[in-house]
Structure 1
Amino acid sequence: MPSIRFATLDRIDPATLYRIVRLRIDVFVYEQGIICEPELDGRDLEPTTTLFWSEQDGDVLATLRVLFDGPALHIGRVTTAKHARGHGLAARLLEAVFEAVFEEFAQPIEISAQAYLEKWYERFGFRRTGPDYLEAGIDHVPMRRAGP
């Protein structure tokens, strides 16, 4: 079974970080064709940004990041390797975020979800907070999950 891990950038070994970034580029740039926004946007370098990932046998299968943006946390860069989809890895990462973050912070969590995933995120308590919008040429919807 894949393990779930999380850490700030300064606590991730370089090989794992490479695999996380490679997965994000494979999915967002090569698979989804997002070339109008840089994948490496500098937010991973912020000292409080926390990366979560699922790995098995040294292979990063899924990842997301949590940004600490003022009164709310923000989940982004949620992705799963094509060969690992359909096994609940992204769901396990979200649950790990809720467990880890809510133990320390009582803040709501926001996400800019790709619109086709709105119902999926609703399963985790996220609710739409505004109209659909385009981000990087893909339909998105703003969503929020209340704090505990």
Structure 2
Amino acid sequence: MTWELKTFEQLTNLELYAILQERTAVFVVEQHCPYQEVDGKDPASYHLLYREEGRILAYARLLPPGVSYPEASIGRVIVKQSARGRGLAKELLRRSIAFIQQELGEKAIKIQAQEYLKDFYGSFGFAPVSGVYLEDDIPHVDMVLYQE
């Protein structure tokens, strides 16, 4: 059971393959969203992953300011379906926020949240900054966390 944070260059070929496989399984297959999963932002991002017995069970892509938004961002947040309900999403978010605030020194984090997860992200201090809109036929809302 290990949490790891890596730059794109630190990922092995097998790790990158496993990450892309899990992201595609959740966002393209499970959520029925045919879209360009490999979007060119991975090389500029940090990759936070949790593994058990070599398998990735949780993952988030941490984007420095200027990659997706003027603010830092957290994206591609996934917990493998078989590992849901164990608190991994909360720990994943806690670690993601801590890295961006403490290691990158950023005070604002912007996310594009699926609307049904608004309260989950709100529990970490994220507040809506947009109305609800459709992205790939899924209701989303932009949210921002500001550190005092």
Instruction: Establish whether TM, by shorter chain, passes 0.5.
Output: yes
Q: Which amino acid aligns with 1:54?
A: Y
- 2:30 partner amino acid: E
1:26 corresponds to 2:25: yes
Structure 2: which 5+ residue stretches go unaligned?
none
C-alpha separation in 2, matches of 1:50 and 1:64? 8
Deviates more, 1:84-93 or 1:65-74: 65-74
Paired position in structure 2 for 1:63: 59
- Equivalent AA in structure 2 for residue 90 of structure 1: A
Looking at structure 2, the residues matched to 97 and 75 of structure 1 have their Cα atoms a distance apart, in angstroms, of: 7
Tell me the alpha carbon deviations over residues 65-122 of structure 1, each in whole angstroms, 9 at most, x when there is no partner: 0111334111111111110111111211111112222113132101100000000111
Aligned to 1:38: 36
CA contact (8 A) 1:4 1:96 kept: no
The one-letter code matched in structure 1 to 2:98 is E
Partner of 1:41, secondary structure, is coil
Q: Give the equivalent residue in structure 2 for 1:101.
A: 100
Partner SS state of residue 34, structure 1:
coil
The list of structure 1 runs, each at least 4 consecutive aligned residues, that deviate by more than 4 angstroms after superposition, is none
Report the CA distance between 1:56 and its aligned residue. 0.7
- Cα root mean square deviation, aligned: 1.2
SS in 1 for 2:64: strand
Structure 1 spans left out of the alignment, 5+ residues: none
The secondary structure found in structure 1 opposite 2:116 is helix
**What fraction of aligned residue pairs are identical, expressed as a percent?**
35
Q: Distance in 2 between matches of 1:34 and 1:106?
A: 31
- Deviation per CA, 1:4-27: give whole Å up to 9, x if none: 111111001221221111110001
Determine helix, strand or coil for the equivalent of 1:145.
Answer: strand
